[in-house]
Amino acid sequence: MKSTDTPANRLRRIVVSGRDAVYHVVTRTAGQAFLFGAREKEMFRAHLRATALFCGVEVLTFCLLDNHVHLLIRIPGEKPELTDEELLERSDGLYGGELHSRHALTIDDIREALAFGGEVRERMRAKLIGRMCDLPMFVKLLKQRFSIWYNRTHDRHGTLWSGRFTSILVEGKGLPVAVVAAYIDLNAVRAGIVDDPAKYRWCGYAEAVAGVKSACAGLHAIAGGNTPADGVARYGVLLYYKGRAPGRGKPRDARIPPELMEAVCQRFGSLTPFGQLRARMRYATQGAILGTAAFIESWFQEHRSHFGKRRSGPRKIRGGDWDGLHSFRDLQSPDRP
């Protein structure tokens, strides 16, 4: 685990190493200004896919709003072993082509260094591979490169983002990851922008419905099934079930209409792959870790020395039936680690 010394900072960002890990990442614009229209969201999505490909990060789902971004991503636990050709192929989308920043390393620089050989080649390889499979570096590259494009396009100067990103660690299989994914894909519904997540083009579910292979693969990884299309259908049942009622503190009409929910269930079947979902989703953004009791306790015991007198990791989530889900942080005691 990488963390700073204070309990508050430990809860703000937990990063594991040595094994694959899934994170829900949230980053906001400076002052939460509404800066992103259709063009900006399209460009951010392009940067997201290019950065993920370079870094070896799997985007499970996402949602781009006017003033903040949600990402659900899987970070591999080990750096990749790549040939020079594979390294160039990964680098091309980020350091060449239309997404390239004129202030950054270029694909020609990389190609020349690799061809030069010797220590020059090894330094370049170490530099590039060092940027892969790392949560903070992935978010840094994504935000920096999009900021350069945004400021140049809008003749703007200064910071675009509100400080550091926040993230929670999510158990990467079963109900925990599906719960967080549904929370993310329902953001536009909760905001009253659309009544159907499939109509909001800047989220992972809408991309999957439109047939984008990477988006289908992400939801397939979440929901399982024999094929990506089957995974999208299974996930859709959970998503529409979750969206049938307004979110906590949201207007009554910030939900998926009952007739749409009924049509989805008739088409795709029941909720048996996941069970019923009854959840207050503050835990999806503030719980530090979300998963089964065994998952959280295993992580806690590995890092026991960081948490003083605390005796156990999982905390029961209060206020309803959570189907075995726990969080690391008790939100009813926000000052406690």
Q: What is the pTM of this model?
A: 0.85
Mean pLDDT of 221-244: 85
What pLDDT was estimated at residue 3?
A: 44
What pLDDT was estimated at residue 273?
A: 40
Close Cβ partners of 40 (under 8 Å, ≥ 6 residues apart): 150
Distance CA 69, CA 267 (A): 31
What pLDDT was estimated at residue 245?
A: 59
User: Directed axis angle between helix 228-242 and helix 213-223, to 10°?
Assistant: 70
Tokens describing residue 276: 């019923």
pLDDT tens-digit map of 40-74: 999 999 999 999 999 999 999 999 999 999 999 99
Please, which pLDDT band fits residue 195 given cuts at 50, 70 and 90? confident
CATH code that applies to domain 11-79+138-268 = 3.30.70.1290
Distance CA 307, CA 6 (A): 10
What H or E segment, with its residue span, contains residue 64?
A: strand 58-64
Determine contact, residues 59/214, Cβ cutoff 8 Å: yes
What pLDDT was estimated at residue 300?
A: 86
Q: Which of 118-132, 155-169, 172-186, 266-280 shows the lowest mean pLDDT across its residues?
A: 266-280
Percent helix, strand, coil in the chain, to 5, is 50, 10, 40
Q: Give the residue range(s) of CATH 3.30.70.1290 domains in the chain.
A: 11-79+138-268
pLDDT tens-digit map of 235-253: 888 888 776 655 555 555 5
Report the mean per-residue pLDDT for the chain.
83
What pLDDT was estimated at residue 283?
A: 67
Alpha carbon separation from 75 to 58, 89, 105, 125, 172 (Å, rounded): 7, 20, 24, 20, 11
Q: Phi, psi at residue 233, to the nearest 5°?
A: -65, -45
Q: Return the residue matching tokens 């049509």.
A: 263
